[in-house]
Structure 1
Amino acid sequence: MRRRSLVAAAVATALVVTGCNRGSGDGGSGGSSAPIVVGSTLSLTGAFAATGQIHKIAGEEFVERLNAAGGLLGRKVEWKVLDDQSDQAKVSQLYERLISQDKVDLILGPYATPNILSAMAVAQRHGYILPQHSAVLAPQLTYECQFPAWSIGPTPNSFIPNQLFDALASLPTPPKTVAVLTSQSGSAAFVSDGFGSDKAGALSIAKERGITVVADVHYPPTTTDWAPIATQVRDANPDLVINNGLGVDAVNILQAMKQLNYRPKQMFGLFPAPGPLLALGDLSDGMLSVSMFEPNKPILDKLGAQATEITTRFTEKAKAANLPYTVFETQATASWNAWEILTGAVKATGGTDQQKLCDSLHANGVDTTFSGHLTFDPKSFNFWPTTQTLKQIQKGDWVVVWPADKAAAPLAARRP
């Protein structure tokens, strides 16, 4: 029964960007007129669906632009997407189907680290390269032919806190005390606690930099009552609140603090849903987070007309799909990078031979629209030198504020 339900769900959610059925799988153009088929799963339903839809829209736009420009190796590209329903247990079965039954020519990773790890195991077993959008914890990604489209370097648990503290140190009054609120999700906790034998993280780095940790709260991802956490922060009254959390965690914390008539002096959220924070209005003003890219005008002006066209078209498609947040930012950028990694390797090798694709990316890297030239070193788990910035909510919009040479606006001190 479970197998029948899985197959039905997969078939029902398959998306075909062109009208053809499958690629030739001949390892190159070979004079074939059949499309090159790219297979992947996305979380189109379930807990990760809001973010999965972002990757779906970005991917559809990329394939449309690619085919309008003549496709790949003179052939149209077809993207076959199956809904993994935000369920890690389904991911490996679906990637097995894409490779073994559907005989796709190429694959892309799904969304969310646990799902990516499952897909990676299948890709490694079959010898496929796996460009992936959003897994950033480098030591977990040991397959030498997985290629990250979002890099926070090989030690993100150190990089993220140090980047944040460096930025805040530039303010007239840097923080002296901090409260660290950590989701026990594997996608966030490493930034507070480190990973494996590397114990560096926000907690240890704050102490090393002379910042006193006045509250250290770890909470389960299933938390629904945020009042106790808000009360603990209010009583500690730190200069800075760090929420190493996901989704709407930061929104829930801010709202719970508001119920106590308390407002944090400065707050950072690791991987928040950007739209719900903006919807809080003045309550979230000054909020900080990480970013790969924000379509701020000074940044778009540097990148040129193509970047503006891509981001504008994405917003149009996102509005048509009724997405709650329609701006082309970090998740969409990671998706775009993944597609450019995949297609760049195919163009460089003139075919779809997986080992040649992997070797080419290691030897030559790839050019991307939003992150520049990427290089991949297996010794660093293929994580390229990070281009990550910090963004801040200012006057109802997210703007890049750090580092200064990439900023669209100066970093602002949040008022108490």
Structure 2
Amino acid sequence: MSKKIKIMVAAFALIMFGFTAQAADPVRIGYSIAKTGLFSKAAPSQISAYELWAELVNKAGGLNIAGIKRPIKLIWYDDESNPTKSAQIYEKLITQDKVDLLIAPWGTPHHLNVAGVVQKYKFPMVGNTAASVAVRQIKPGNIWFPTPMFPDKVAAELVKLLQANGVKSAAVISNVLPFSSENRQYLLPALKKAGIAVKVNEQYPPDVKDMTTMLTAIKQANVDAVIGLAYPADSFLYMGQAKGIGISAPFQFLLVGPTIDAFGKAFGKFADGIVTMGHWSPAQKAWPRAKPFFKAYKAKYKGMNPDYLDTAIAYMSLEILEQAVAKAGLDKNKLRQVISSDTFDTINGPVKFKGIENAITPVAFLQQQAGQMELIWPKKIATSKFMKR
């Protein structure tokens, strides 16, 4: 072999080694999460979705970035349940850690704060565990929300569900945190318009430790429905104290919490009949991705069920990101265009965005029945009918 040919071969080898090394470099994906603080009991549902997705994608060879597969490396920081700190972390992820992609924090206040950061740096991010009419004021193009559970829409559909099941009177108790308060803002006038009498209407602080006074008033009012606009911690508190006081309303609704696996295990048969918000189920045969996800989750987490609300929404956001990156790569402008215009196949069926909102997935409600979560509303995606407590 001539000296010239040897030099060319060596140069080619170096080039190919460079391409191989570049292809093997991890894609760095950053996020903040409420590992500690007020929302720490809710965040594991989201973390588990992120970790499962990264593991499954890496086992399949890595994240497809416009035809090149690269392993995923998750980079995260504890935002201590502080929305302001969450925004600071996302700025750090973008400007100092130089992450390739972003995934969302937990909760509505955190999303609202982070929205300003992704807008500032024109860095697209698919949100998940958040819904507020306030997000409609955000300029479209850098953040999207896969869940349809916006408070104004939830109120309208919940009232329809109540009417369909003969509810004439209700008690409404609400956490003062933003998502609960916003749901209350739209629910109370919707109940009035529907002719459903609100006999108890109370609010309580985020760190509530005792609901007995409120629950005693509810029992005395003898209402058809109890509507608890609660977060996970207060949903658990409600259940424990409602059992002791003997709350027997045939319709009982808790906003966030009952979809967590620990909820059903903690309360057993007493949890049967509890209604909550959620739009996903592995039993819905129209969504072929749902069952494999469910099985993979249970396999990884030793028989534990995914959170039918937060884990499902978080995983949907990752599927959307994965499919968008496969088409657009890491170019922010191309990624923004794909997310804004394409239809994505998820565990919850097809998703397409109109502005920042999911234009396909309907507002829906789940109910625990015989230890399992079932979709009961709307009828077009229901896996079971409503069951009175």
- Whether TM-score is above 0.5 comes out as yes
- CA drift of 1:248 comes to 3.2
SS of 1:120's equivalent? Answer: helix
Q: Is the 8 A contact 1:246 1:272 kept in 2?
A: yes
Per-residue deviation, residues 100-149 of structure 1 (Å, max 9, x unmatched) = 11111111111111222222222111110011111111323504210113
Is 1:147 aligned to 2:139, yes or no? no
Alignment of 1:270-285 (within 5 A): 270-274=255-259, 275-278=261-264, 279-285=266-272
1:259–1:319 distance in 2 versus 1, CA, 3 Å = same
Counterparts of 1:203 and 1:382, CA distance in 2 = 24
Is 1:138 aligned to 2:133, yes or no? yes
- State the partner residue of 2:9: none
Structure 2 counterpart of 1:82, from 56, 71, 77 = 77
- State the partner residue of 2:322: 343
- State the partner residue of 1:294: 281
Q: Is the 8 A contact 1:108 1:131 kept in 2?
A: yes
Q: Is the 8 A contact 1:311 1:328 kept in 2?
A: no
* Larger radius of gyration between Structure 1 and Structure 2: 2
Counterparts of 2:320 and 2:21, CA distance in 1 = 22
**Aligned partner of 1:268: which letter?**
F
Structure 2 counterpart of 1:307, from 287, 290, 296 = 290
- State the partner residue of 2:117: 122
- CA drift of 1:176 comes to 0.8
- CA drift of 1:67 comes to 2.8
Q: Is the 8 A contact 2:41 2:233 kept in 1?
A: no
Alignment of 1:55-204 (within 5 A): 55-70=46-61, 71-73=63-65, 74-76=68-70, 77-140=72-135, 142-144=138-140, 145-152=142-149, 156-171=150-165, 174-193=166-185, 201-204=186-189
Alignment of 1:22-33 (within 5 A): 32-33=23-24
- State the partner residue of 2:31: 40
SS of 2:52's equivalent? Answer: helix
- State the partner residue of 1:352: 330
**Aligned partner of 1:46: which letter?**
G
- CA drift of 1:265 comes to 2.6
- CA drift of 1:205 comes to 0.7
Q: Is the 8 A contact 2:258 2:276 kept in 1?
A: no
**Aligned partner of 1:188: which letter?**
S
SS of 2:64's equivalent? Answer: coil
1:346–1:282 distance in 2 versus 1, CA, 3 Å = closer
Q: Is the 8 A contact 1:248 1:276 kept in 2?
A: no
- State the partner residue of 1:367: 344
Q: Is the 8 A contact 1:132 1:146 kept in 2?
A: yes
- State the partner residue of 2:200: 215
- TM (norm. structure 2) is 0.86
The number of residue pairs the alignment matches comes to 362
Q: Which runs of 5+ in 1 are unaligned?
A: 1-28, 194-200
- CA drift of 1:32 comes to 4.3
- State the partner residue of 2:45: 54
Is 1:406 aligned to 2:385, yes or no? no
SS of 1:282's equivalent? Answer: helix
Counterparts of 1:114 and 1:187, CA distance in 2 = 8
